[in-house]
Every structure is written in structure tokens, then in C-alpha cells.
Amino acid sequence: MRPLINIEPERRPHAELYREHFRYWKVWHEEILRDLRGNPKRLQRDLKESRRHLSSLERYLVPEKGEVIRSFVAEFDGIKGELESDPLSPSRPNPGIIERRLESLGLRISNSLTFKEMKNFLRPDPLPFDMTRYQAEEPEPL
């Protein structure tokens, strides 16, 4: 059986993908704040999706700006860990304090990672690869 190679026929520009993940992060972060005192399952989904989109921003930026995103993700993970801890634990902070920390983190991310601020630090878009030019060719057997 021959292996199949699946290459995307069209790659989207990094600028477009960065903007998309940033918008999704913002929506999910707002959902966290809405669901903070509500349904725990919904809050878990909000936390997961917000983190996923925030960490996805790193792949489109040059390495030195990726470090900024990693620091925000680490701070987010700390708050997420507190939210996931036992609600009856005496070491768990007050929900109001957690909410203010999430709001503060959201504002700092919104102000420093906007597309306008990051557009000069985007990685170059990948070169297009046209598979239709190579469909008739077979690799040489080893």
C-alpha cells in the first residue's frame, strides 16, 4: 500500500490566521468572565478554548514575540489552576479576586497583542506548493 500525502491546496496568510485566533481568544475570554460563577462544565470549555486560541498566536509570530505569548499563557495557566482547585480549599482565592485577575490579564493581552501592535512581528507566509504539478511523478523506490 502506498502512503498518501495530504497537502493543503491553499494556505491562508499568517496575518489572517493571527487576527482570527485573536478574535476567538477574546470571545472565549469574555465567556470565561460570564460563566465564572455559573456552570462548571461550561467554564471548563471556556478555559480550554481561550487557552488554545491564545497559545495558537505564538506560531504566527517571530520567536522573541512568542515569548510574550508564553508568559501570558503561563499566567493564564496559574489562574486556571486556581479555578480548577477544590472550591472548599482555604487556599483558593475569592471568586471576585480571580475575576479581577482575569479582567486585568484580558486587558493586558488585548492592549499588547492586537494585530496593529504585532503586524510587524509576523512570520513570513509559507511558500505555496502546487501539488498539481507533481501528480504524475512517482518517487524512486529505495
Domain boundaries, the chain: 14-123
128, 8 in Cβ contact below 8 A? no
Looking up cell 498518501 gives 4
d(CA 81, CA 97): 14
Higher pLDDT, 63 or 139: 63
Q: What is the mean pLDDT of residues 29-57?
A: 92
The per-residue pLDDT for 8 is: 55
Specify the 3-state DSSP secondary structure of 4: coil
Using one digit for the tens of pLDDT, what is the confidence trace for 45-92?
999 999 999 999 999 999 999 999 999 999 999 999 888 876 666 666
pLDDT at residue 1 tops 50: no
State the DSSP H helix or E strand holding residue 118, giving kind and residue range, or none if neither.
helix 115-118
